[in-house]
Amino acid sequence: MTGTTPTTHPEMPGLAPGQRDPRLDFFRGLSLIMIFMNHVPGTFFENLTSRNFGLSDAAEGFVFMSGCAVALAYGPKMKNGLGVDVVRKGWGRAWQLYLVHMMTTVWAMALVAGGVLWLGADEVLLNNSFNLLWKQPVEVILGVATLGHQFGYVNILPMYAVLMLGAPFLVRLGQRSPMALLAFSVGFWILTFALSLDLPNYPQPGGWFFNPFAWQLIFTLGILTGLALREGRRFVPVKPWLVWIAAIWLVFCFAWVQDVDLKEWMNQTLNALRAQGVPGLVAGFDKTFVSMPRLTHFIALAYILSMPLGIPKFAASQAMEPVRLIGRHSLPVFATGTVIAIFAQVVKDVHPAGIEQDMLLVLGGLFAQWCLAYALEWNRQRDGRTKPPVVRETEPEVAPHRLPVTPSTSLR
């Protein structure tokens, strides 16, 4: 995982040609499942997602895993340098993400409009900036096309698209000097907060909720992890003192979000620190700029989950195949889940109901996403393009330079 010194580790075998690391698909699929649950607010299932057990949430996991996938897919193509083909591929991916975002946005607007016209779901207009579509339609249309106006729950792909514009350059810098890439990314993250850098909203004031200039740090940590993983090493070695620090911080963060008294005390403490001049990046809880508490919680979580203590075997188990299947087809699944989530929000606005309806909306939505992933996988198998996974529990002695990775690990 991310950290200070890249080192070879006996628990991390390299990826042979055509092999996939099942942990990548598993955690990416798990992130998508939790994102969907969070995008249908007001249900019991919200209580089961990671944001209830710490300071970060599934969004960090999604962006981190995307960085890992980019490194695994593009790294082998760039072993001899940064070429035009790789840049074109990365920018083509950014364009694809833009088009998918446009599709999900149009469907979100259509579902909200249908709810208002036919079901009387006027309340949904007050949420997620949809009301501006009726108040300022001309400005909003322009804002949607230029990514200046992003509706709530339909706003992570623009950030991802911007990151993909820089992905080839970040991967190449990481290949030449991982520490230089880490220093650049951390420095740019600090500068972003200090200068309030962000891409502008339109027609509303302010900037993007998912600020790509700040979230590039999570993406870069994923790239550094993926580059190390491809060569059969850890970017941060397993050290007992690091394990203890990470574990203690995770336990404390769990208590922070669960205990009312501790939560109030921590909020007062952070407010007092900011009043004394401590920057909000350190003493804040800002998701837009990925403040320090969120960032350190996610790094600690990623570090612990990277341990070879049964996690690789569990991620590769047959029982987790449905989760991995969703992760292997993350982009179409995410887009479909976004549209279903907006539909579910409209339904709950018209008919709040209870647990039975929530189960139908959430579990039915997840089943629909799995069906889509299953169909896409069936089509891939028919074309003979499925690659076998590799389970990482122990490592044979393998020379890192013999471990190329095929593009099969890229996001789909």
Give me the mean pLDDT over the 240-252 stretch: 97
| Separation between Cα atoms, residue 268 and residue 291, nearest integer Å | 17
> Nearest Cα to 229, choosing from 75, 101, 123, 381?
75
| Separation between Cα atoms, residue 116 and residue 272, nearest integer Å | 44
What are the angstrom distances between the C-alpha of 329 and each of 247, 276, 285, 389?
32, 47, 32, 15
| Separation between Cα atoms, residue 362 and residue 337, nearest integer Å | 10
| Separation between Cα atoms, residue 128 and residue 349, nearest integer Å | 13
Angle formed by the axes of helices 178-194 and 212-230, nearest 10°: 170
To the question of pTM greater than 0.85 for the whole model, the response is yes
Handedness of CA 183, 189, 231, 297 (dihedral sign): positive
**pLDDT tier, 20 (very low <50, low <70, confident <90, very high otherwise):** confident
Among left, alpha and beta (phi > 0; psi -120 to 50; other), residue 119 is: alpha
- pLDDT at 175 > cutoff 90: yes
- pLDDT at 177 > cutoff 70: yes
pLDDT reported for residue 58: 96
More confident residue, 266 or 307: 266
pLDDT reported for residue 291: 97
pLDDT reported for residue 81: 85
Beta-sheet pairing, 233-234 with 7-8: antiparallel
402 HSE (CA, 13 A, CB side):
5
**Is residue 7 within a helix (H) or strand (E), and if so which, with residue range?**
strand 7-8
pLDDT reported for residue 94: 98
> Nearest Cα to 184, choosing from 172, 200, 196?
172
pLDDT reported for residue 222: 97
| Separation between Cα atoms, residue 366 and residue 384, nearest integer Å | 27
pLDDT reported for residue 383: 79
How much of the chain is in helix, strand and coil states, percent to nearest 5? 70, 0, 30
> Nearest Cα to 29, choosing from 227, 306, 297, 321?
321
Query: Tokens in use for 71?
Result: 């490194």
Q: By the 8 A CB rule, do 154 and 342 touch?
A: yes
> Nearest Cα to 138, choosing from 146, 164, 289?
146
Contacts of residue 203, Cβ cutoff 8 Å, sequence gap at least 6: 132, 136, 139, 140, 142, 143, 148, 149
**pLDDT tier, 83 (very low <50, low <70, confident <90, very high otherwise):** confident
Q: By the 8 A CB rule, do 38 and 49 touch?
A: yes
| Domain extent listing, the chain | 7-409
- pLDDT at 400 > cutoff 70: no
pLDDT reported for residue 394: 40
| Separation between Cα atoms, residue 403 and residue 412, nearest integer Å | 23
Q: By the 8 A CB rule, do 229 and 409 touch?
A: no
| Separation between Cα atoms, residue 106 and residue 214, nearest integer Å | 27
- In tens, the pLDDT along 130-171 reads 889 888 999 999 999 999 999 999 999 999 999 999 999 999
Give the position of tokens 């769990």: 254
**Is residue 19 within a helix (H) or strand (E), and if so which, with residue range?**
none
What are the angstrom distances between the C-alpha of 269 and each of 283, 284, 286, 295, 350?
9, 10, 15, 18, 41
pLDDT reported for residue 387: 54
| Separation between Cα atoms, residue 412 and residue 219, nearest integer Å | 17
